[in-house]
Amino acid sequence: MKNFEELNLGTPLRNGINDLGFTTMTPIQEQAFPVILSGRDMIGIAQTGTGKTLGYMLPLLHELKYADTLDPRMLILVPTRELVVQVVEQIEAYAAYINVRVLGVYGGTNINTQKKAVTDGVDIIVATPGRLYDLIVAQTVRLKNCKKVVIDEVDVMLDLGFRFQLTNIFDHLPVKRQNIMFSATMTDQIEDFIKSYFFNPEKVSVAVSGTRLENIEQTCYPVENFYTKANLLMDLLTDEEEFRKVLVFAGNKKSADRLQEYMLERYGDEIAVIHSNKTQNYRLRSIELFDTGERRILIATDVMARGLDLDKISHVINIDVPSFPENYMHRIGRSGRAEEKGKTILFYTEKEREDKEAIEALMDYKIPEIPFPEEVEISTQKTPEEKPVVREIFNPHKIIEEERGASFHEKSEKNKKVNLGGSYRREIAKKYKKPKTRGDKIANRRRKK
């Protein structure tokens, strides 16, 4: 692998990299650097945690020259607000000795503040598609000078429904530009997008999604139900020395809140939570508390699994099995960052066995199974999702969905009656008949003659 010293970087940029303690390039950084430097469009396929941000920012900052303009010259699109904040911080660290204006733009905050910041002048804009589109519609952001465009975690953007905004943003960009895209997976949607907006791109593929990361130790537990999973998690967390910084993934916002509430009495002061229903300040504060070590446990949903660069995570614990195998890869990629050793644990019920096997098929690896500990209580409590579906809540027989009989039966005689509108309306109709039209009136006159 190359050292950063071999790249002939400018002194200010090299000093910024040295201050961060970076010496050796990761494979994606080494392969992306010459392609981006050449000016060609590029598609990067790489798992999270492989150093993608520095991979695209290093050549772009190396090429960025001073220009007397207020409009942005570089655009970086990411799917979530947390990623905007993180990427802005990283760029500012890389460019600590370079005179460059970086602005983060995302929803959930005052748009007028962001409008003013844009009009004051910016060189690099990092944005979520939704808020950037709002600023374009308001004619605040002009992209005519934006010749470098990066779309990071594009598969997540499309999953979140940002195709419309992306399409409109690209329609406002200059025709002559360099497009750079990073994704962990390649789908038909992404292929269609590439065909529409990229010109003869070069593909750089490193650690394709599904490739098992050798530096991450994986294990799994068979577990009865959700609350038993919570009991097992709390039992594991008693070992504070081993589980010193734990990222817990829940399948959805309800599960994340339910888990926090269940663990509150025992681990309340050690837990932080992030998901899309939390306010922006709450989410950023939760990440900060976890990253600095003030909170030992962070409960998150899949939307937060992508791109967040959190240091020194000892364990990633999956409280459930994700429906899409690729999401498992993104989750566990939060551990073992920068080629350090990581540990991940997966809890699965019998209903989730098939999803677990799909993950193992994707990785071509059987996750080692640990027997369920005898000392952990098996809970009889069930979540609403785990309970059998009752068709009629107030039916004393409580017919279960699986025991349902025939769907149709012959209506009883009284239920075959048709609503004719009430006796009063029928009597009035008989008395006055249908109102005569003009044609009826003329015909009557002629008969009388």
- Residue 331 included in any domain: yes
**Stretches in the chain below the pLDDT threshold 70:** 1, 47-49, 159-160, 185, 187, 207-213, 280, 303-309, 336-339, 389-449
Q: Are residues 111 and 196 in the same domain?
A: yes
- Amino acid 360 reads E
Neighbours of 31 (CB within 10 A): 19
H or E stretch covering 316: strand 315-318
Single out the residue in 346, 363, 380 at which a domain terminates: 363
H or E stretch covering 271: strand 271-274
Single out the residue in 363, 393, 427 at which a domain terminates: 363
β 124-127/74-77 pair status: parallel
The answer to whether 179 touches 201, Cβ cutoff 8 Å, is yes
Q: Are residues 116 and 256 in the same domain?
A: no
Residue 403: predicted pLDDT: 47
Q: Are residues 16 and 162 in the same domain?
A: yes
Helix axes of 52-63 and 81-94: crossing angle, nearest 10 degrees: 50
- Residue 436 included in any domain: no
Q: Are residues 76 and 57 in the same domain?
A: yes
H or E stretch covering 348: strand 342-348
- Residue 388 included in any domain: no
**CATH number of the domain that 111 lies in?**
3.40.50.300
Query: Which of 319, 398, 331, 43 lies closest to 193, judged by CA?
Result: 43
Q: Give the C-alpha separation, 146 to 158, whole Å.
A: 22
Q: Are residues 179 and 220 in the same domain?
A: no
Instruction: Provide CB contacts within 8 A for 283, sequence distance 6+.
Output: 81, 82, 274
- Residue 406 included in any domain: no
- Residue 66 included in any domain: yes
Residue 226: predicted pLDDT: 95
Domain count, the chain: 2
Q: Are residues 175 and 261 in the same domain?
A: no
- Residue 442 included in any domain: no
Residue 391: predicted pLDDT: 60
- Residue 267 included in any domain: yes
Q: Are residues 120 and 260 in the same domain?
A: no
Q: Are residues 104 and 53 in the same domain?
A: yes
Q: Are residues 186 and 305 in the same domain?
A: no
Q: 304 lies in which domain range?
A: 216-363
Single out the residue in 342, 363, 384 at which a domain terminates: 363
The answer to whether 129 touches 169, Cβ cutoff 8 Å, is yes
Q: Are residues 158 and 19 in the same domain?
A: yes
Q: Are residues 283 and 357 in the same domain?
A: yes
Q: Are residues 109 and 184 in the same domain?
A: yes
- Residue 72 included in any domain: yes
